[in-house]
Structures are given as structure tokens and as C-alpha cells.
Amino acid sequence: MLSYRHAFHAGNHADVLKHLVLVQLTRYLCQKEQAFWYLDTHAGAGSYALDSAAAAKLGEFRDGVGRLWGRKDLPAALADYLALVRKVNPDGSLKVYHGSPMLALAIMRAQDRLRLFELHSREVIRLRENFQAFGKQAIVHDSDGFASLKALLPPPPRRAVVLIDPPYEERRDYDRVVNSLRECLTRFPTGTYMLWYPQLTKLEAHDLPQRLQRLSASNWLQVTLRVRTPASDGFGMHGSGLYILNPPWTLQSTLQEVMPYLVGVLGQDAGAGFTLAGQVS
């Protein structure tokens, strides 16, 4: 049940897409002086050593952030994201990759707060170590993010970005993300929500985007990045997607600029591509 560890996948193509958008969401909320919260249902360890045995075993970062590392032609939004990665690699070598909560924290202000959930016993220890210096600004919970999220909504400042990012190791995760978003919209309809999901040949993965659109939210964006043709044996993740509720009005145009570039740089064969759809008012 709790075998997934993000260290094996840190900095891969899915992280690039997810963190590119997360940076944009966090920057947008920082435009107003009023505080906001960042809530993460599956926070992981928070930071990952890319030269560790876990990261080196699959080396997925090489076909993700590694392909962007030395480029000088990055679109503005990608350059912003990569600057945060460079900041924790000051010698110019790509050795450390921050996860979602650390990237968000790098942008957030003193008045903003993080509430992080993680169930994996080893990951939550590392998460606490990574955030212990930030006191009450960043509180780590060793609990089920799906079950615990609803108790924090709406947050006191009535502004938040919520990341729902399960590993989808269990089939029920596909039902839980839909049900969680539905309940979140009931409790806190004005929050900004970002759901990550994998592109796999499994039926439940194929059906998830349509199920999300049936939530009938009034403001949403759905973006996918496919880096290769699905394997003939059905094995492995060939891409990933994000479903964003209440996105910034600027995000769609940003993605229209960035996604063709990402396909060109991260694409591994002729099956690479992207989709972008939404309803933003």
C-alpha cells in the first residue's frame, strides 16, 4: 500500500509539467498581499538527491529536468521554474531536486502557510527534517491527505492552492481524487486546486479525464504532456496530465506558449504531444 517513493522519479517529465504549473499558481497568489495556504495531500520527502542510489536507479530526471538544464532558449515560465532548481544547485551541477512543497515555499511569503500530508513512514521523517526550521509556517501531518484535507477547508485566509498528487498505486485512488475534488468544491469553491494524474494504458487512467470534466466546474484547465508512444506491452507511464480548478486567467496563454516547447525538448519519439483544454472566465 505504501511502497511508492518519489525519490525514484524525482525531476522526471511529469515533475517538470507539475512544477512548472505549480510555480505559476503560487506566483499568482503572491500578487496580492493577503496570505494564502498551500495544502499538499501527498507531499513526499520534500527534497531529493539526484545522485542518490534511488534516483540513479532509474535516472528519470535525465529525460526530464535534465533535458532543460543547459538550455538558453527557455520560455519565460520555464526559465522561472528552472531558476528555482538552479538556486539549490549553485555549483551548476544538477544534484538536488526540490519537490512540490519546497518549490512552493521558495516563492511564498512569511504570512503564508503550508500544511503537508504524508503517510509513508520513511518519507514523513525526511519531510519533517526538511521543514523543521520553518516552525508553524509549515506543519507536517503523518496522515491520509484525502481524509484530512476536508478538515482544513476553507482555510482561515480563504485563499489557497491545493495539490492532490497520489501515486495511483491503488485502483481506488482514481475514485478518491474525483470524490475529493467534488467535496473540496462544496466546502471551498473558490480555492485553486491542481490534480496530477498519470497517462497509462489502464482503463481507470484512460477514463479519469472524462470523469473530472463531469464535475461541471465553471473554471478549469486540463493540460497533458505525452513524451512517447504508449508501449506495446502496456508497461510504463507515457505522459501525465493536470486538471486545474479556478486557475489564474493568465495560465492558459502561458501553457499555449510553453507546451509546444516542452514537446520538442522532452519528446522521445513521434508519439510525443500535448493537449490543452479549458473553460476560464
For 165-176, the pLDDT digits (tens) are 999 988 999 999
Q: Residue 3 corresponds to which amino acid?
A: S
**Residue 154 preceded by cis peptide, ω within 30:** yes
* pLDDT(1) > 80: no
Write the DSSP symbol of residue 134: G
Residue 234 has a pLDDT of 77
Q: Please give the Cα distance from 180 to 35 (Å, whole number).
A: 24
The pLDDT of residue 17 is 98
| Residue 131, CA atoms < 13 Å, CB-side half-sphere | 33
What Rg do the C-alpha atoms of the chain give, in angstroms? 17
Fold of the CATH domain 6-214: Rossmann fold (3.40.50)
Q: How does the average pLDDT of the chain come out, rounded?
A: 94
Rounded to the nearest angstrom, the gap between the alpha carbon of residue 280 and the centroid of all alpha carbons in its chain is 20
Q: What distances in angstroms separate CA 92 from CA 69, 70, 107, 259, one per listed residue?
A: 9, 9, 21, 25
Cα 56 to its chain centre, rounded Å, is 21
Cα-based torsion angle of the residue sequence 272, 194, 277, 18 in order, rounded to the nearest 10 degrees:
-20
Q: Are the C-beta atoms of 227 and 258 separated by less than 8 Å?
A: no
Nearest 5°: the CA angle 246, 251, 255 is 130
The domain locations on the chain are 6-214
69-73, 194-198, 201-205, 231-235: the lowest-pLDDT one:
231-235
Measured between alpha carbons, how far is 125 from 119 in angstroms, rounded to an integer? 10
pLDDT at residue number 115: 98
Rounded to an integer, the average pLDDT of 256-279 is 97
Residues 6+ apart with CB under 8 A from 104: 22, 26, 38, 40, 114, 161
Is residue 155 predicted with pLDDT exceeding 80? yes
Q: What is the pTM of this model?
A: 0.95
In a 10 Å sphere around its CB, with 0-12 CB exposed, 13-18 middle and 19+ buried, how is residue 209 labelled?
Answer: middle
By C-alpha distance, which of 148, 198, 150, 139 is closest to 173?
A: 198
- 108, 102, 117: which is closest to 43 by C-alpha? 117
**Residues designated catalytic:** 165
Residue count of the chain: 281
